[in-house]
């Protein structure tokens, strides 16, 4: 997950990837609402995640790519290794 | 300690450092203003200085509150853990250093209060009160060092692992 512009908060990235992994492709508004993020902020994250190849546009919806799912799994593994927080993906 | 609890204390220390830092800058400015201002203004500047000193406790309470409120943005332990990892990446061992400093300050306050008690209540002379309070500080700190060193080693190890984890996620 490369950071091209602006600062990305890791927990927001995790939240967005997690929502897309559990809910499947969502519209921009639905994703922002589900993540409890303001629309502008959600869009900034989505465009950076798309640039990094973690999410992709599927028509007017945003979906998780294989790299996105792998990144989510990697984050879950790290959390389990460091803090013993069980993975649920 | 669970990531969320660890993050709360870390954020509280961060905000304490920020607020006390700002307070010290303001106090320094007041001290400089006191020195350079004409005699008729000194009373006013000194009042401002006293007001700033009284603000200290309020700022500490505000830091505790801000730390608690900030952590509410994280939905669960996993999000809090990720925020902690990011903090370790951005600020290194800040939390460990701040916790150890806070502990040392607590011991210093105990010894200071002892010195004041010896001076004011027991009417002991300064040359006795000062060494007694210093000895008390050394005794307390030396006794706590085992615990401090053990926890600092563990915490620094965790910080190192968190920094590596952050880099791994970034890749």
Rg (Cα) of chain B, in Å, rounded? 21
Tell me: pLDDT of A3 over 60: no
Identify the pLDDT of residue A89: 62
Q: Which residue of B has its CA nearest to A70?
A: B169
φ, ψ of residue B129 in degrees (nearest 5): -60, -45
Alpha-helical runs (H) found in chain B: 3-36, 39-70, 77-91, 94-116, 126-170
Say how far apart CA B78 and CA B164 lie, in whole Å.
17
Which residues in chain A are contacts of B170 at CB distance < 8 A?
1-3
**Would you call B159 an interface residue with chain A, using a CB distance cutoff of 8 Å?**
no
Q: Name chain A contacts of B165, Cβ cutoff 8 Å.
A: 78, 81-82
Tens digits of residue pLDDT in A6-24: 688 999 999 999 999 999 9
- In chain B, the residue whose alpha carbon lies closest to the alpha carbon of A12 is B79
End-to-end CA gap in chain A: 18
Question: What ipTM does this complex have?
Answer: 0.89
pLDDT in tens, chain B (171 residues): 789 999 999 999 999 999 999 999 999 998 898 888 888 888 888 888 888 888 888 999 999 999 999 999 999 999 999 999 999 999 989 999 999 999 999 999 999 999 999 999 988 898 998 899 999 999 999 999 988 899 889 889 989 888 888 887 777
Q: What is the pTM for the complete model shown?
A: 0.83
CA A33 from chain centre, in angstroms, equals 14
User: Tokens in use for B14?
Assistant: 């961060």
């Amino acid at each position: 997950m490369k950071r091209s512009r602006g600062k990305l908060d890791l927990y927001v990235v995790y939240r967005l990837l997690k929502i897309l992994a559990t809910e499947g492709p969502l519209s921009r508004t639905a994703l922002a609402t589900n993540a409890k993020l303001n629309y502008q902020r959600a869009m900034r994250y989505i465009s950076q995640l798309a640039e990094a190849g973690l999410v992709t546009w599927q028509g007017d919806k945003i979906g998780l790519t294989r790299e996105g799912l792998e990144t989510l799994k990697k984050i879950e593994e790290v959390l389990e290794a460091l803090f013993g927080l069980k993975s649920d993906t | 300690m669970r990531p969320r609890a660890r993050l709360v204390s870390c954020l509280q220390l961060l905000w304490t450092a920020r607020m006390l830092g700002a307070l010290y800058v303001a106090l320094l400015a007041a001290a400089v203003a006191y020195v350079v201002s004409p005699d008729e203004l000194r009373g006013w500047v000194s009042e401002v200085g006293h007001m700033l000193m009284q603000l200290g406790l309020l700022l500490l309470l505000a830091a505790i509150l801000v730390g608690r409120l900030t952590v509410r943005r994280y939905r669960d332990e996993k999000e809090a853990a990720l925020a902690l990892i990011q903090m370790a990446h951005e600020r290194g061992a800040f939390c460990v250093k701040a916790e150890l400093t806070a502990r040392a300050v607590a011991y210093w306050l105990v010894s200071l209060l002892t010195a004041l008690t010896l001076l004011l209540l027991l009417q002991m002379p300064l040359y006795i009160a000062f060494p007694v309070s210093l000895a008390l500080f050394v005794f307390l700190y030396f006794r706590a060092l085992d615990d401090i060193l053990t926890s600092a080693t563990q915490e620094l190890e965790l910080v190192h692992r968190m920094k590596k984890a952050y880099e791994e996620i970034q890749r």
